[in-house]
Amino acid sequence: MKVFELPKRTFKFFVAIHPLFVSLIQLRVLYILIILLGNKQKNMHVIIYLASSANGMISNQRNVPDWLSPEYGQGFMAICQQTKAVIMGKTTYNILAPGYLPLKDEGALVVLTHDTKLPPAQPNVLFTDQSPQAIIAMLESKGYKEAVIIGGTQTVSEFFKAGLVNEIRLVIEPALFDGSLPLLKDVNRDFKLSLSGVKQLNANTVELDYFVN
Ligand SMILES: NC(=O)c1ccc[n+]([C@@H]2O[C@H](COP(=O)([O-])OP(=O)(O)OC[C@H]3O[C@@H](n4cnc5c(N)ncnc54)[C@H](OP(=O)(O)O)[C@@H]3O)[C@@H](O)[C@H]2O)c1
């Protein structure tokens, strides 16, 4: 019965090596999990929300915010409440803290600074000197799906430079400033945008929404 001996041996062979197949399947499952987790970070939606003069400046030389409309303020509060994850530079934090921070006792207020040992104005303030990538990964690990960057120029530029910005919402106020702070600085590259919305907020102010390509 030599005819059946070969399949029998073959069967024994497969029984002997079946743990190898099990390991291969486990490896494949692990690989898929790694891919899924790796893609997760790319799902974080990062929005810049800024007020700008008609010539692209985000601050006047006097550094007094008397040119900002109430509608910009309302939009600012609304987007911070929506994302619950707010990123800003230390200079912007110094302007807002303690009385005007856009989140009170919930969410995360991430402040870029080299002085990370400073006492925070409230418990949800996190001072960090981490890279933009590490900040986004940290927020994502805490379950946030989107984050808003509220300024200023240095902070916005760092996130643009790192290629982490998905969307920019610009509230264009009716003013022109000479020699003040531009929206981007030292980024050394161009960005193409796609217009996703235009809203007239009052008689003189418009909001332009763009996706970053
Ligand atoms: N128009 C608007 O919508 C709007 C919104 C917000 C702010 N603003 C204006 O923007 C101006 C502030 O902008 P800005 O560019 O001067 O400052 P900023 O981005 O608010 O803050 C800059 C500071 O953030 C810290 N920082 C930035 N990158 C860092 C990094 N990679 N690691 C560690 N720390 C880092 C540094 O703080 P340390 O020096 O503590 O290390 C740096 O001095 C203000 O005049 C404000 O009025 C306008």
Instruction: Write the class of the CATH domain 43-212.
Output: alpha beta
Comparing CA positions, the residue from 112, 110, 168, 161 lying closest to residue 138 is 110
Percent of the chain with pLDDT over 90: 79
Find the helix or strand (DSSP H, E) in which 26 lies. Answer: helix 2-42
- What confidence score (pLDDT) does residue 54 get? 98
Whether the per-residue pLDDT at 24 is higher than 90: the answer is no
Q: Return d(Cα 108, Cα 45) in angstroms, integer.
A: 15
- Structure confidence by residue, pLDDT tens digits, 124-163: 999 999 999 999 999 999 999 999 999 999 999 999 999 9
Mean of the pLDDT values across residues 107-122? 98
Residue nearest to atom 24 of ligand 1 (CA): 89
Provide φ and ψ at 69, rounded to 5°.
-85, 160
- Structure confidence by residue, pLDDT tens digits, 39-80: 444 589 999 999 999 999 999 999 999 999 999 999 999 999
Mean of the pLDDT values across residues 105-112? 97
The closest-lying atom of ligand 1 relative to the alpha carbon of residue 171 is: 3
Contact predicate 49/185, CB 8 Å: no
Q: Residues with Cβ within 6 A of ligand 1?
A: 50-51, 58-59, 63, 88-92, 95, 112-115, 129, 150-155, 158, 181
Query: Ligand 1 pocket: which of 92, 157, 184 to mutate (most atoms <8 Å of CB)?
Result: 92
